[in-house]
Structure 1
């Protein structure tokens, strides 16, 4: 990870009072660095050898008796370093709510229907040029208890694994033109000049005829255009 000051300016603060849960989880004392052990530096990467057919296709990987409901979309992009060099063979995972704004998780008790044909999770490896692609359903907005009338914008969570399980980065991708972005403290917690790095772009080249609208979301690990990550 780069120690360039500008890299750190990209990232959201650990403590952002408008996002209430950060008040409870943000560190109140200086962090204590822990030296990596040999197993952390050389251990196997979790999940790279477990990629199965349709793992990157959320419109197919949980079908029981039909296609999932909602607007089909394609999310594609490239993972690069600060010099634009592709990061190949990186495990990219995503998870999201369904079209009604509900996750397949016992903690999610939002009064919205679950879709029996949609699990909401997927994974793939970047190719030699750092490219990834997912087929999925556009997630719905959902209420959360952070503040009065609080609704999370449509978003997709992304996770990137490096060459060991301890090197994991997590971020969120948003959609262009979403009016809820102006009221969302998770998004607003990112420094203003870098918020655009979390918003995908409509991409006609990624769009597939008669099937799905395409969005591009590139992720940069370091440098001036570094993607804001939640766990930096």
Structure 2
């Protein structure tokens, strides 16, 4: 069966409300380039590349102590357009800490850095396409798109295919976030597809006395395809 990608699901390269796209969006039609051997056989990832705690962002801090903030579990499945699991896919996440601050020299937001939270993790999907992360709910932060612009709480997701040249990037949002209606990145996604980027709170993933659970399934192709930034 031929894999069908629904291009109408994804955000456009140029979205005037998101002002940096005005500077970086292509102004001429894209030219497809045929894949060579280097693209088809680039570096690959395997079980040996993943550490035991790589999927637990609450345990990879500098001081090896508990990070500040609300602990959460984020889990789901990576599936194709037929609902079949996508196995052994490298899933990476990165995010701000509970105060809305990234561990990065470019981030100059006047919020505290948490030395016990570095904000990055990764894991491989299992035979049923499942992944799972333990982390801290990220905070909102100002980002300069206009004088009072704030990003909603979100987690960045990156998925690699069979090699490093096959990569998809998206963002996961949280239900009921009041900032979504003001966020040009979220609003830049076609309206019919925005809900596919919002996780679902579920008691099934919630761990008693420890962490709230959020489900975020990622669909790679088809009519319910998750919107990706680098379509």
TM-based fold match above 0.5 = yes
**1:225 corresponds to which residue?**
224
The correspondence of residues 1-80 of structure 1 with structure 2, limited to 5 A, is 2-4=3-5, 7-46=6-45, 49-62=48-61, 64-80=63-79
Q: Structure 2: any 5+ residue segments left out of the alignment?
A: none
Measured in 1, the distance between the counterparts of 2:201 and 2:12 equals 29
The correspondence of residues 66-215 of structure 1 with structure 2, limited to 5 A, is 66-215=65-214
**CA-CA distance at 1:63 after TM superposition:** 5.0
Any conservation in 2 of the 1:72–1:137 contact (CA below 8 Å)? yes
Any conservation in 2 of the 1:69–1:99 contact (CA below 8 Å)? yes
Q: Structure 1: any 5+ residue segments left out of the alignment?
A: none
Any conservation in 1 of the 2:170–2:228 contact (CA below 8 Å)? yes
Normalising by structure 2, what TM-score?
0.96
SS at match of 1:31: coil
**CA-CA distance at 1:48 after TM superposition:** 5.4
Any conservation in 1 of the 2:71–2:212 contact (CA below 8 Å)? yes
Any conservation in 2 of the 1:48–1:91 contact (CA below 8 Å)? no
Normalising by structure 1, what TM-score?
0.96
**CA-CA distance at 1:41 after TM superposition:** 0.6
For the aligned residue pairs, the C-alpha RMSD in angstroms reads 1.3
**CA-CA distance at 1:214 after TM superposition:** 0.2
Measured in 2, the distance between the counterparts of 1:205 and 1:67 equals 24
Measured in 2, the distance between the counterparts of 1:33 and 1:167 equals 15
**CA-CA distance at 1:53 after TM superposition:** 1.3
SS at match of 2:48: helix
* Deviation string, structure 1 residues 103-141 (Cα, Å, up to 9, x no partner): 000000000000000000000000000000000000000
Q: How many residues align?
A: 230
